[in-house]
Structure 1
Amino acid sequence: MAVALNSRLGNLGVIMLKVLVVDDHTMVREGLRRLIARDKEICVIGEAGSKREAFAQISHLNPDVIVVDLNLPDGNGLEVVAWARSLSQRIGIVVLTMSNMPEHVLASMQSGASSHVDKASPSSELLSAIKASSVKPLSFTARKLTQAIDAKNREVGLTPRELEILEKLPTGDTVLEIAAQLFVTESTIKTHLASIYKKFGAKNRVQCINTARKTGLLP
């Protein structure tokens, strides 16, 4: 059941971060509300127990940050993440889940989340993630992000040098500029790019970047 709560002011009239909690378990939502209430800078203004309720509450309450579980009775929490991100580039989105599997971490990033937090993590990690997501909603953080990217890279089979070049592609730098940055020849970069494109099944830089983003190797 969706629950809307009155917003409140912190000490000295400072407006607190408005948080919407989305989880299909009532006890979890209540526990999160009590946990968040300990922080004087954050306030839970509403709760939702399903995707449908989450959509309605986000539209109605306009929260600063959403804390959302992956498993919802009428859909996936990532659908909420993607929908919320399509509405606003400013909203902070924290995925709070029991899973730290690489594919779930990367899926959270790809859907537009600001952070991925394990439910087994210390409460301080969640509170920090909520605050950080409100400041940099488009910067993704996760404790096991590096491991997740490494695991995905092993599947694709990029060499360390190829991964380094891949990360430079979205900057728009030319092949010659990338070569200068890496202190190698232009032909060397072209050789690496040919290998990268082949591994991604891409015909050009744009296709390569898009595929790399879909697989989680690029943000």
Structure 2
Amino acid sequence: MTKKILIVDDVNFNIEFESKIILNMMSELKIDCNIDEANTVEKAYELIDNSDPYDAMIIDMNLPDGTGVEIAKYARKKSEETRLAALTIYPNEYAKERSYFDLFMKKPIMVQSFMQNFMRLLQIG
């Protein structure tokens, strides 16, 4: 079974870095994985609308055209099953939005903790 992942971040380097970590990890676990990428709220909405529900989304909280909370709310309307992770340098600022996410991941991205959090997000292992 292929896992479908959406990464939303306005910094292309972060998307590339996260994608590389996920693809390497999933390859080691022998799990197929498709990753879609968005760098705006608008693009995330478009991808959510035009695809089957995602298994997981990693969503930056601060985007040029809105917030990760908006994307999380939108994604939940499509599927309650999608696992959502917020990615932020300021996790305490979003304490009141925790109910929209299954997991909070802290920036800067540290490979080992990112991998552990991603495994928790997908409920693997």
Please give the range of the TM-score, normalised by the shorter of the 2 chains: 0.7 to 0.9
Give, in angstroms, the shift of residue 54 of structure 1: 0.3
**1:60 match:** 50
Is 1:26 matched up with 2:23?
Answer: no
Write the distance in 1 (CA, Å) between the matches of 2:108 and 2:63. Answer: 19
TM-score, scaled to structure 1: 0.49
Aligned residues: 119
Q: Deviations over 1:55-92 (max 9, x none)?
A: 11122233210011011111111110121123221001
Q: 1:128 to 1:18 in 2, by over 3 A?
A: farther
Matched-pair contact (CA < 8 Å) for 1:17–1:43:
yes
Two-structure CA RMSD over aligned residues (Å): 2.1
**Which has the greater radius of gyration?**
1
In structure 2, C-alpha distance between the alignment counterparts of 1:126 and 1:85, rounded to whole Å? 23
> Would you say the 8 A contact 1:19–1:42 is kept in 2?
no
2:112 partner letter: S
Tell me, yes or no, if the aligned pair for 1:20 and 1:47 is still in contact at 8 Å: yes
Identify the range of structure 1 (120-129 vs 58-67) with the bigger mean alpha-carbon deviation.
120-129
Shift of 1:121: 4.9
Higher strand proportion (structure 1 or 2): 2
User: Take 1:80 and 1:37, find their aligned partners in 2: how far apart are those partners?
Assistant: 23
Conserved 8 A contact 1:33-1:44 = no
Go from structure 1 to structure 2 and tell me whether the alpha carbon gap of 1:29 and 1:42 turns closer, same or farther (over 3 Å shift). farther
2:122 maps to amino acid: S
Structure with the higher fraction of residues in helix conformation? 1
Identical-residue share of aligned pairs (%)? 25
- What code does the residue aligned with 1:20 have? L
Aligned to 1:88: 79
Q: Secondary structure at the match of 1:120?
A: coil
CA separation of 1:21 and 1:44: change in aligned 2, threshold 3 A:
farther
Q: Which amino acid aligns with 1:103?
A: E
Runs of 4+ with >3 A deviation: none
Secondary structure in structure 2 of the residue aligned to 1:63: coil
CA distance in structure 2 between the aligned counterparts of 1:90 and 1:33, rounded to whole angstroms: 21
Once residues 51 and 132 of structure 1 are traced to their aligned partners in structure 2, the CA distance between those partners, rounded to angstroms, is: 25
8 Å CA contact retained: 2:19, 2:35? no
Residues of 1 paired with 2:55 and 2:82: CA distance? Answer: 5
- Larger RCO (CA within 8 A; separation ≥ 6): 2
